[in-house]
């Protein structure tokens, strides 16, 4: 168990070939009185898809924005965020000048937000957006537009029609896909997406996820997918990171978290999620509600809602504990969680998906 | 009277005329066929879930059910009387239009936008009581409001009643919207994506609350969702049925569990594929040929799903399938008719 959480990182949270390293990253809006993202240390591995899951107000958007040092004012981000490019450059994201940061965004790490319409300029055609982006980063326009064509085709769009349209002429699903194409036109290594599909219907969400998987494969991308929807991202992500009350509480391979979630919150979240397989009578809401950033519960912030909470949980914030080779949870009582909080879809799980098969 | 449905829709059509811009003067206006030939009944204490993609007409159909949208074709009957005849004074029944509208309520997706930000909850919730029971004293009204707020888990009620909507969380706002609808003693509540904006972990709770209050207030729900797993939970617990819509038409309907486990229409299978589940099985390829839904202004000929359907054959392009009955399910697909020409028809190639 790491005492200070800085150097001795556990293996689920660190990696041999990381692309982004976060260490003790914290965000405060009132000079350290309270944190809307607290003490997050994790490595994003090269070419993985990591799903970051949390409810409204759990700090997950701060997590996304931290990677680009894009916390809105007057938020203050402290700690360390390092970007390790494939060519060996090590970039301290928080130490970059404004100009360097501007260049790094889109060229190395790009970001897609929920609601494409608010990311597009309504008075400019889609092609205009591509041209402007290419010019702003001193890329050649012609080869850039060729890439745009290819990307749009990859996303099952008709390139010429889309490029000559204005954003409002496209459906929500087309806008969001055009935005994804735009975010990839400068060939970034990392794509950070904050609820990229939340405003769309389920069929379009699912279709976009399928396309993202193809894009990741084709362009060797690293993807960070932020969402409140655990089952949605579970089908796409290699690993999941679960956030609760501004901290990470569990990190592990997606299928292992589904089959063997270690943190009581993750288990409760899985049981609370309507799905097509679980017996209906066993779906249960999580009692109580998530805490606000001021007056956080002492110790483990989940303890007031947790059936396993004891004295220890009330007094000190639990460190991450390795529950399996590549799986860690910040809970003192994770060993009891499996028995005490059964998953309501357990009978449905594929036998092959249990832990043994997944230890890398 | 008891076996009569509360609402009965027969061949309902809602077509919107879309005027062309200045350049289009003199041309025929475009017609958006938002709802096209839907027949469905809503019984007492029923749950009818409408699911489908954005733009499939589920909200328009829902609004037509509760008299917020006048159909351009077909009839909508409220307890056996054509509600639009009542509205126009052409009905021989003694029903009043206001009474019909009062008994058909709605809760929206965004509760924050549907509550007046300048009024306290007690004043928001007094409004329906003033309509329904004008004789209640101020104290009695307060008492009923408090007991309902407590019932929906907003304790202490006296404290909540004095708050403004912005002082509530999204889940609490939605519960207030539900209370407001229920205080009208409605026969039917249209819940239009009412839980979609809530956190995943709060959805089950909200659905449980709605079902719990259904028993108490004897209402039916028309539940609109794009999420099959929510519709499954709500419909199965409410003993109702799910209707699957595609480009304005009802392509399949039936009891929740049956429809999900044995879909009879290829489009229902697509929705099943799109619904994330936790079973860790590989979901496989997309059971659909195109990602984007066709333009409802110019819907495809024949079966409207033929442009995306993986099973489509030539005949689907030409002929419109009728609705087949299969063990309590209804599906509009030729594949449900073993002797249909479909089986000899060549496959469609893109």
pLDDT 10s digits, B217-226: 999 999 999 8
Closest-approach residue (CA) in chain A for B275: A202
A323 has a pLDDT exceeding 60: yes
**Residues contacting B292, CB < 8 A, separation 6+:** A156, A171, A173, A174
* Residue B22 confidence (pLDDT): 63
A8 pLDDT more than 50: no
Taking the Cβ of residue A256 and every Cβ of chain B, the question of whether any pair is shorter than 8 Å is answered with: no
- Residue in chain B nearest A209 by alpha carbon: B274
CA dihedral defined by B34, B37, B39, B42, rounded to 10 degrees? 20
Smallest Cβ–Cβ distance between B229 and the set A210, A228, A276 belongs to A276
- Closest partner residue to A172 among B54, B260, B278, by Cβ? B54
First to last CA, chain B: 52
User: Containing H/E element for B35?
Assistant: strand B30-42
Give B174's contacts in chain A (Cβ within 8 Å). none
Best CA proximity match to A276, nearest among B80, B190, B228:
B228
Q: How far is B273 from chain A (nearest CA, A)?
A: 8
Q: Could you tell me if B247 lies within 8 Å of chain A, comparing CB atoms?
A: no
**Residue B202 contacts A, CB cutoff 8 Å:** yes
Give the strand order in the sheet containing B188-192. B104-107, B188-192, B220-225, B47-51, B241-246, B249-255, B329-331, B324-326
- When scoring B112, B169, B199, B224 by the number of chain A Cβ atoms within 10 A, the one with the most, hence best to mutate, is B199
Q: In the prediction, which pLDDT does A279 show?
A: 75
Give how far B276 is from chain A: nearest CA, Å.
5
Greater model confidence, B297 or A310? A310
Six token digits for residue A249:
């509480």
User: Would you state the pLDDT for residue A13?
Assistant: 81
The pair of structure tokens assigned to A330 is 């910040």
Per residue in A246-267, pLDDT tens?
999 999 999 999 999 999 999 9
Residue A137 neighbours by CB distance under 10 Å: 15
CA distances from A351 to A235, A253, A314, B276 (A): 17, 16, 36, 19
Residue pair A271/B205 in contact by the 8 Å Cβ criterion: no
Token reading at A243: 């956030």
Q: For residue A279, what is the nearest residue in chain B, using CA coordinates?
A: B233
Task: Indicate the length of chain B as a whole number.
Answer: 350
Q: What is the predicted pLDDT for the residue at B186?
A: 94
The answer to whether the CB atoms of B202 and A345 lie below 8 A apart is no
Check residues A6 and A206 and name the one with the higher pLDDT. Answer: A206
pLDDT above 50 for A359: no
> In this predicted structure, what is the pLDDT of residue B66?
95
Q: Which fold has domain B7-20+29-103+185-344?
A: Rossmann fold (3.40.50)
| Ramachandran quadrant class, B11 (left: phi over 0; alpha: psi -120 to 50; beta: rest) | left
pLDDT band at B201 (very low <50, low <70, confident <90, very high): confident
- Average pLDDT (A97-117) is 88
Measured between alpha carbons, how far is B87 from B65 in angstroms, rounded to an integer? 14
Are A305 and A287 in contact by the 8 Å Cβ rule? The answer is yes
Residue A112 at interface with chain B, using a CB cutoff of 8 Å: no
- What CATH number is associated with residue A245? 3.40.50.300
**pTM for the model:** 0.85
Gyration radius of chain A over CA positions: 21
Give pLDDT, residue A33.
Answer: 81
Q: Where are the alpha helices (DSSP H) in chain B?
A: 58-65, 83-87, 97-102, 111-114, 121-132, 138-151, 157-161, 170-182, 200-217, 228-237, 256-261, 266-274, 314-318
Question: Which pLDDT band, with edges at 50, 70 and 90, does A355 fall under?
Answer: very low
For residues A73 and A211, the model is more confident at A211
Total structural domains within chain A: 1
pLDDT exceeds 90 at position B276: no
Of A295, A302, A235, which Cα lies nearest the Cα of A266? A302
* CA closest to A271 among chain B residues: B201
Q: Which of A177, A229, A236, A274 would best serve as a mutation to test chain B binding (most B beta carbons within 10 A)?
A: A274
In a domain, A250, yes or no: yes
Looking at residue B240, its pLDDT comes to 93
- For residue A182, being part of any structural domain is answered with no
Distance from CA of B232 to the nearest CA of A (A): 7
Domain of residue A284: give its range. Answer: 11-98+191-198+220-353
A209 located within any domain: no
The answer to whether residue A289 is domain-embedded is yes
With bands split at pLDDT 50, 70 and 90, how would you rate the model's confidence at A288? confident
Q: What are the beta bridge partners of residue B220?
A: B188
Residues in B 291-330 with any Cβ partner in A closer than 8 A: 291-293
Higher pLDDT, A346 or A223: A223
Of A174, A203, A349, the CB nearest to B280: A349
B258 near A CB under 8 A: no
Q: Between these two residues, B112 and A301, which has the higher pLDDT value?
A: A301
Q: Predicted confidence band at B110 (pLDDT cuts at 50, 70, 90)?
A: confident
Task: Give the residue-averaged pLDDT of A90-101.
Answer: 92
CB contact under 8 A, A274 and B208: no
The pLDDT of residue A356 is 40
Res A354 pLDDT > 80: no
- Nearest residue of A to residue B237, measured between CA atoms: A280
Write down how long chain A is. 360
In this complex, do A55 and B201 lie within 8 Å of one another by their Cβ atoms? yes
The answer to whether the peptide bond before residue A74 is cis (omega within 30 degrees of 0) is yes
Average pLDDT over residues A72-91: 91
- Give the tokens for residue B12: 């309902």
Tokens 């659905």 locate to B207
Which residues of A fall within a CB distance of 8 Å from B281?
350
Identify the weakest region by mean pLDDT among A59-73, A280-294, B299-313. A280-294
A205, A229, A258: residue with CB nearest B200: A229
Of A1-5, A119-123, B13-17, B286-290, give the lowest mean pLDDT range.
A1-5
The position carrying tokens 């007057």 is A74
pLDDT at A358: 40
Distance from CA of B317 to the nearest CA of A (A): 23
Region A225-248 average pLDDT: 92
Give the containing element (helix H, strand E) for B345: none
Q: Read off the pLDDT of each residue in A122-149 and give the average, rounded to a whole number.
A: 95
State the nearest Cα–Cα gap between A56 and chain B, in angstroms: 7
Q: For chain A, say whether B112 makes contact (Cβ under 8 Å).
A: no
Which letter, b or e, does each residue of B135-168 get, where b requires 16 or more Cβ atoms within 10 Å of its Cβ?
A: eeeeeebbebbbebbebbebeebeebbeeebeeb
Using a CB-CB distance cutoff of 8 angstroms, which residues of chain A are in contact with residue B272? 276
Domain range annotation of chain B: 7-20+29-103+185-344, 112-184
Average pLDDT score, chain B: 90
Chains A and B: how many Cβ contacts under 8 Å? 126
Cβ contacts of B279-284, under 8 Å, gap ≥ 24: B279/A277, B279/A345, B279/A348, B279/A349, B279/A350, B280/A255, B280/A258, B280/A259, B280/A349, B280/A350, B280/A353, B281/A350, B283/A235
Q: How far apart are CA B36 and CA B41, in angstroms?
A: 16
- Domain assignment of residue A317, yes or no: yes
Residues 60-89 of A with CB under 8 A from B: none
8 A C-beta contact, residue B332 and residue B265: yes
Give the pLDDT score at A352: 43
A274 to B199: CB separation less than 8 angstroms, yes or no = no
Terminal CA-to-CA distance of chain A, rounded, Å?
A: 21
Chain A 324-353, CB below 8 Å of chain B: which residues? 345, 348-350, 353
């Amino acid at each position: 168990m790491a005492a200070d959480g800085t150097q001795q990182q556990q293996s689920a949270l660190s990696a041999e070939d990381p692309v982004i390293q976060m260490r003790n990253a914290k965000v405060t809006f009132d000079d350290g009185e309270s944190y809307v993202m607290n003490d997050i240390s994790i490595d994003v591995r090269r070419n993985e898809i990591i799903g970051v899951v949390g409810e409204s107000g759990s700090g997950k958007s701060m997590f996304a924005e931290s990677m680009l040092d894009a916390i809105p004012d007057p938020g203050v981000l402290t700690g360390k965020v390092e970007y390790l490019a494939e060519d060996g450059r090590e970039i301290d994201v928080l130490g970059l000048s404004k100009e360097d940061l501007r260049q790094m965004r889109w060229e190395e790490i790009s970001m897609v937000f929920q609601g494409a319409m608010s990311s597009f300029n309504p008075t400019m055609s889609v092609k205009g957006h591509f041209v402007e982006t290419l010019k702003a980063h001193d890329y050649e326009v012609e080869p850039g537009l060729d890439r745009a064509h290819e990307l749009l085709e990859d996303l099952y769009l008709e390139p010429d029609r889309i490029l000559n349209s204005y954003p409002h002429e496209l459906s929500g699903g087309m806008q969001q896909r055009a935005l994804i194409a735009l975010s990839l036109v400068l060939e970034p290594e990392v794509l950070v997406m904050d609820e990229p599909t939340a405003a769309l219907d389920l069929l379009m969400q699912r279709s976009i996820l399928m396309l993202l998987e193809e894009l990741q494969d084709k362009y060797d991308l690293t993807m960070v997918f932020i969402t409140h929807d655990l089952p949605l991202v579970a089908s796409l992500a290699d690993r999941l990171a679960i956030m609760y009350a501004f901290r990470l509480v569990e990190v592990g391979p997606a299928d292992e978290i589904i089959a063997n979630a270690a943190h009581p919150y993750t288990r409760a979240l899985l049981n609370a999620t309507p799905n097509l397989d679980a017996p209906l009578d066993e779906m249960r809401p999580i009692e109580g509600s998530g805490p606000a950033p001021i007056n956080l519960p002492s110790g483990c912030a989940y303890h007031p809602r947790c059936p396993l909470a004891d004295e220890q949980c009330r007094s000190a914030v639990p460190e991450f504990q390795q529950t399996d080779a590549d799986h860690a949870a910040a809970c003192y009582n994770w060993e009891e969680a499996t028995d005490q909080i059964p998953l309501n879809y357990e009978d449905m799980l594929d036998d092959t998906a249990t832990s043994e098969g997944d230890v890398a | 009277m008891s076996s009569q449905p509360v609402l009965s829709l027969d061949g309902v059509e809602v077509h919107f005329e879309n005027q062309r811009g200045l350049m289009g003067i003199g041309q025929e206006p475009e017609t958006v066929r938002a709802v096209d030939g839907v027949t469905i009944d809503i019984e007492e204490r029923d749950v009818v879930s409408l699911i489908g993609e954005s733009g499939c007409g589920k909200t328009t159909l829902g609004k037509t059910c509760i008299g917020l949208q006048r159909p351009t074709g077909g009839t909508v009957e409220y307890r056996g009387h054509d509600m639009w005849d009542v509205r126009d004074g052409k009905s021989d029944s003694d029903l009043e239009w206001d009474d019909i509208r009062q008994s058909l309520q709605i809760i929206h997706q965004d509760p924050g936008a549907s509550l007046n930000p300048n009024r306290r909850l007690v004043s928001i919730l007094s409004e329906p009581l003033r309509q329904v029971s004008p004789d209640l004293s101020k104290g009695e009204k307060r008492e009923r409001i408090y007991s309902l707020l407590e019932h929906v888990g907003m304790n202490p009620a006296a404290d909540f009643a004095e708050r403004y909507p912005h002082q509530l969380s999204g889940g609490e706002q939605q519960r207030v919207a539900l209370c407001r609808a229920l205080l009208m003693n409605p026969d039917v509540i249209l819940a239009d994506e009412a839980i979609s904006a809530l956190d995943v972990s709060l959805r089950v709770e909200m659905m449980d609350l709605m079902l719990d209050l259904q028993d108490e207030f004897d209402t039916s729900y028309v539940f609109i969702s794009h999420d099959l797993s929510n519709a499954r939970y709500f419909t199965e617990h409410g003993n109702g049925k799910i209707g699957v819509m595609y480009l304005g038409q009802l392509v399949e309907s039936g009891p929740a569990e049956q429809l999900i486990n044995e879909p009879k229409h290829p489009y229902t299978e697509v929705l099943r594929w799109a619904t994330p589940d936790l079973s860790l099985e590989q979901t496989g390829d997309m059971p659909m040929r195109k990602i984007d839904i066709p333009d409802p202004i110019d819907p495809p000929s024949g079966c409207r799903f033929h442009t995306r359907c993986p099973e489509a054959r030539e005949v689907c392009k030409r002929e419109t399938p009728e609705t087949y009955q299969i063990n309590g399910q209804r599906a509009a697909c030729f594949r449900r008719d073993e002797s249909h020409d479909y089986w000899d028809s060549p496959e469609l190639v893109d």
